[in-house]
Structure 1
Amino acid sequence: MEENRARRVVDALRDRGINAQLARGGHHMGVRVLLPGGREADWDTDGTAGLEAQVMRNGMLVGFVPVIEGSEDYDEEQIVDAIARTDYDQPIARQRATAPPPAEPLPRVGGVFRRFLDGFRYR
Structure 2
Amino acid sequence: EVDFWIIPIIQGFVQTEELVVNYSESSDDDKSSPETPPQESTCVDDVHPTFLVALISRRSRHRAGMRYKRRGVDKNGNVANYVETEQLIHVHNHTLSFIQTRGSVPVFWSQVGYRYNPRPRLDKSK
TM-score range for the pair, normalised by the shorter chain length:
under 0.3
Greater fraction strand: 2
